[in-house]
Structure 1
Amino acid sequence: MAAAGMSGPVMVQEQPHAPIVDLDADPIHMGAHDGPGRPADAPAAKSSVVSDDDREELVSLLEDIMDGEDAVEYATEMSRDVCTVAEARTFRSRLHEVGPNQFILETITTGNVGVRKLCSAFGVRIPAFFEGCEDEQLYQLLGLAINRELNKRPRLGQYSTIDDAAKLLQERSNIMVITGAGISTSLGIPDFRSKNTGFYSRLQEMGFQEPEQVFDIQNFDEDPSTFYTLAGDILPDLKKWTPTHEFIRLLQDKDKLLTNYTQNIDNVESHAGLRTEKLIQCHGSWATATCRKCKYRVPGEDIFENIRIHKPMECIKCTAEIAAHKTGMKRKRSSNGTSKKRRGPGDDDSESDGAYDIPQPGIMKPDITFFGEALPQDFFDRLKSQDKDKVDLVIVMGTSMKVAPVSEIPNFLPRDVPQIYISRDPIHHINFDINLLGDCDVVVAELARRAGWDLKHSMIAEDQKTTVTLVDDLEHISSVAVRRPGQLSEPPAQKA
């Protein structure tokens, strides 16, 4: 489970197309004409310079809209403003064929297609607060959607089915696995952002308008009791792991695992037996805890009891040094009945440096990456200097891939490396070659079976059977689920 949205340096990567959107101006001058579809008195799209804070807020809002965030209220879409599946594919294909400028000329500039309909072609739903507004006010949203589409890694056509995925497992030897909260929820560990069930949703029910603030480093330093009071719900179980964790361990045991990049903070991967050199915990984890003052580090489970009783844990090293300092000062004053010589302004004060200046013990903080902290540097070092050139297969599991910089990894890697996506719900901002929708535990069990591997776990029934249904041939999407009694093993529509 990851404290989603943790801040950190964003990965620098080369993009195949230059951005076409300038948030301080009309994107590629869309709307800067009086052609068809634009009333002469319609307001121009926003062109005044915005502050950095306003820009960041605007970008965040637009990206939430493109990702279909539940926090945004969406309009009821009229059929004339929404592309059919076939139309959307045609528009996307044309964009890649002719480029953004010609595409805009053929659609927006000529007035042949409305901006709302084009937005739907790129999977963007229009928020309710845009109802009744002029088309020009949607140009920035459309421009960002076009940028995202152009920067997508193209799907590899030769891979599409679960059997293709099983064959890739057998053939490849440097498999990168990217994981999120969905691989741990079967243990009862909540994710952060799921509507109604996520940890943030629980915090909102408790009255926190901005639940992310519980994981703000400044707030922790000012009042750690808030985190210690609320974090009990996300403490990991140190003795259990899921079939998905076991599957990743199986990849390691078969010497096929290159690296598991996990956004989860539960540290379940380690308890499942993943070696340190095979694991990058992108958002930190509960594995260790560190004093905010002296940086003394302890095993993470040392602070679990304090979290359960809602009492911030003071650093034992700080406490010991403060106690020793006080005892030493008393001993010096009473050793010979005289006071220590008073220091002059220029005298050396080295004896009072360091721990003796600590007025009170520091508080232990789990080494989760809070908002306001940088991501672990080994994430960037490992990805760019080693894994990028070695990876030959990517498997993404249990994550919606919305949090940077992890969300940027698929487009950062060489485009001829096949990529598999496993999760309950599809995503549309990244082109995966094979999409297997369902519970991660069910999907990996079926993948292992088809690969001829023996995946043993108490949560996998000995006689478990699954059904695989082709959902969308062109998008390479299949649904994988435990088969109900009497259900056919493979629906006729399933592609071999």
Structure 2
Amino acid sequence: MKSKRPVGRPRKNLPLKESEPSKVRVEVTDDQVVGHLNVKPHGHARNELEERINDLSDSWETESLFEDVIEDISDHKFIDDVDAVTPEEAVRYRQLLRAIGPQEFCKRTVDSGTITVKRLLTAFGIRPPAFLEGLPDHAYFGLLTLAMTRELAKRAKLPNYNTIDDAVALLKSSRNIVVLTGAGISTSLGIPDFRSKETGLYSQLEKLGLGISDPQEVFNIDIFREDPTIFYSVAKDILPDTKGLYSPTHAFIAKLQDEGKLLTNYSQNIDNIEANAGIRPDKLVQCHGSFATATCQKCGYKVEGDALFADIKAGNIPRCVKCIAELRGNGTMKRKRSCNKSTSKKTRRRSTDDDDDDGQYDIPDAGVMKPDITFFGEELPHEFGQRLVHHDRDLVDLVIVIGTSLKVAPVSEVVPYLPPHIPQIYISRTPVSHVNFDIDLLGDCDVIVAELCRRAGWQLDHPMVKPDQEISVRLEEGYKSRHIFTAAEPEKSPKPEAKAKAKAKAKAKAKAEPES
């Protein structure tokens, strides 16, 4: 089968209140971006990034347009292997841009000769691309324009929230916390995320040779409807088998609920682990659906998700039992042809009228069951937009984002849609560059939330939380609100056998030494 290129889910901007300035959403067309960056350096081979830029108008991914263009040349950590500004200078340049605007900013910097465009790019976390190397400095200006546009589109950081103590104080004082979670909160349970190199699901799918141009096409609704075997050939590998398990981060969200502080948990995960942790359905929006239920693509009949698990694990395409019953009742089920070509007609068993063995029939017209996870090309659950727009936006007093890079729309639009004066905390292994959070807590999610609970005086009961775990925290260079958490490795005490052996060796050595 020749897989067709998926269209992808269209990006939809969430509605703004009339009183709000429109500057929080900046629209840039594909043609404008290509116009800025379609530079072909003479004598240089076009690399992969250049190909992506020139092919941007045909891109189907739902990632932020800005991130799709410059993610590959953006560094989450400070750039120190090229001629870059210092972290302190980067902060000052970004503040200056916001204070005086892009036109005056360019006059005071590159136009005055104070700094080159190429070096100024590093103030915005952008590594000068190799395909522009050797060109005049003005060749970098289009990329600088894009970087400034992206910076000004971000929410401005609230300057009065910076420390871990500030984060703990916010946790204790807030009563309506919106928590947005991603795959990073489940990885400690052995469930892979989607985008990590080598270990991520997409990386693993790419190695299977499924005959598709992009591993994300496994989750494209048009391709599923055309040939569900592609999805079901790998579904058994992504089927959640948590057996009631949940991570300390899930327990942390449940703790916020028990403390009467959780407004809504917007989860991008499809594993339904939130239910294991006791997060109530009225506090949970599963933005991308889950395996908890499944629906027939023909008649709409809905069943519990685990009714499909046996077929999925066996590598079969689950069919709708309601459709099968109706087909049997209408007498439209077809006799199944024998797969054994060596079996003669004379020896082939004949069916009797009362033989109702489903295995004797083809059921080509029975509907295919699909787990209620949101594929690319499908709308998100109606509850997602309704709750966000008509409920949470007016009530939220703290936003916590955990274990997600915020790259998939429209969930990535939740944070910028919420009121910019509401404090925002980010918890993950690596920071993001397209959102200005007030406090970044970087490291293992489970370790960070356990430490926050300890400092807040809350008991986080979970077998994976070590009560005597030592945590070291340091500020990342150049930042006053980006904290890196590291769990100290416990010292391994020698085994009794090793102790006895070492003692005997020392004794023998002392006996062998001549007296002075």
How would you bin the TM-score normalised by the shorter chain? 0.7 to 0.9
Q: Distance in 1 between matches of 2:196 and 2:25?
A: 34
Q: Distance in 2 between matches of 1:127 and 1:53?
A: 20
Give the 3-state SS of the residue equivalent to 1:219 in structure 2: helix
**Which residue type is aligned with residue 294 of structure 2?**
A
Q: Which position in structure 1 is the counterpart of 2:104?
A: 102
Among 103, 110, 118, which residue is 2:120 paired with?
Answer: 118
Instruction: Kindly report which structure 2 residues correspond to 1:462-481, keeping only aligned pairs within 5 A, or say none.
Output: 462-472=467-477, 474-481=479-486
Q: Distance in 2 between matches of 1:113 and 1:20?
A: 29
Q: Which segments of 5 or more consecutive residues in structure 1 lack a partner in the other structure?
A: 31-49, 329-357, 487-496
The question of whether the paired residues in 1 share the 8 Å contact of 2:179 and 2:400 is answered with yes
TM-score by length of 1: 0.78
Give the 3-state SS of the residue equivalent to 2:178 in structure 1: strand
Give the 3-state SS of the residue equivalent to 2:263 in structure 1: strand
1:372 is aligned to 2:377: yes
Q: Distance in 2 between matches of 1:17 and 1:238?
A: 43
**Mean alpha-carbon deviation: is it higher for 199-208 or for 387-396?**
199-208
Among 321, 326, 334, which residue is 2:331 paired with?
Answer: 326
Shift of 1:385: 0.9
Q: Which position in structure 2 is the counterpart of 1:352?
A: none
Q: Distance in 1 between matches of 2:442 and 2:32?
A: 40
Q: Distance in 2 between matches of 1:132 and 1:144?
A: 21
Among 139, 143, 146, which residue is 2:145 paired with?
Answer: 143
**Which residue type is aligned with residue 85 of structure 2?**
C
Shift of 1:373: 0.9
Q: Which position in structure 2 is the counterpart of 1:411?
A: 416
- Cα RMSD of the aligned pairs, angstroms, is 3.2
Among 154, 157, 175, which residue is 2:156 paired with?
Answer: 154
Instruction: Kindly report which structure 2 residues correspond to 1:47-446, keeping only aligned pairs within 5 A, or say none.
Output: 53-54=57-58, 63-68=67-72, 79-80=82-83, 82-109=84-111, 112-133=114-135, 138-207=140-209, 209-236=213-240, 237-326=242-331, 360-446=365-451
Give the 3-state SS of the residue equivalent to 1:411 in structure 2: helix
Give the 3-state SS of the residue equivalent to 2:322 in structure 1: helix
The question of whether the paired residues in 1 share the 8 Å contact of 2:180 and 2:267 is answered with yes
Shift of 1:322: 1.0
User: What do the CA deviations read for 1:268-311 (whole angstroms, capped 9, x no partner)?
Assistant: 11222111111111111111111111111111111122121111
Q: Which position in structure 2 is the counterpart of 1:47?
A: none
Q: Which position in structure 2 is the counterpart of 1:16?
A: 23
Give the 3-state SS of the residue equivalent to 1:99 in structure 2: helix
Q: Distance in 1 between matches of 2:25 and 2:313?
A: 51
User: What do the CA deviations read for 1:171-211 (whole angstroms, capped 9, x no partner)?
Assistant: 11101101011000001001110001000101112235410
Note closer, same or farther for the CA distance 1:29–1:281 as it changes in structure 2 (3 Å cut).
closer
**Which residue type is aligned with residue 266 of structure 1?**
D
Shift of 1:214: 0.7
Shift of 1:477: 1.1
**Which residue type is aligned with residue 83 of structure 1?**
V
Q: Distance in 1 between matches of 2:332 and 2:25?
A: 66
The question of whether the paired residues in 1 share the 8 Å contact of 2:87 and 2:477 is answered with no
Shift of 1:104: 2.8
Note closer, same or farther for the CA distance 1:8–1:54 as it changes in structure 2 (3 Å cut).
closer
Note closer, same or farther for the CA distance 1:232–1:127 as it changes in structure 2 (3 Å cut).
farther
**Which residue type is aligned with residue 376 of structure 2?**
F
Shift of 1:6: 5.9
Percent of aligned pairs sharing the same letter:
50
Q: Distance in 1 between matches of 2:299 and 2:143?
A: 47
Q: Which position in structure 1 is the counterpart of 2:48?
A: none
Q: Distance in 2 between matches of 1:18 and 1:244?
A: 31
User: What do the CA deviations read for 1:295-353 (whole angstroms, capped 9, x no partner)?
Assistant: 1111111112212111110111111111111189xxxxxxxxxxxxxxxxxxxxxxxxx
Shift of 1:481: 2.3
**Mean alpha-carbon deviation: is it higher for 21-30 or for 444-453?**
21-30
Q: Which position in structure 1 is the counterpart of 2:336?
A: none
Shift of 1:59: 9.3
Q: Which segments of 5 or more consecutive residues in structure 2 lack a partner in the other structure?
A: 1-7, 38-53, 334-362, 492-516
Note closer, same or farther for the CA distance 1:363–1:120 as it changes in structure 2 (3 Å cut).
same
Shift of 1:463: 2.4
TM-score by length of 2: 0.76
Give the 3-state SS of the residue equivalent to 1:86 in structure 2: helix
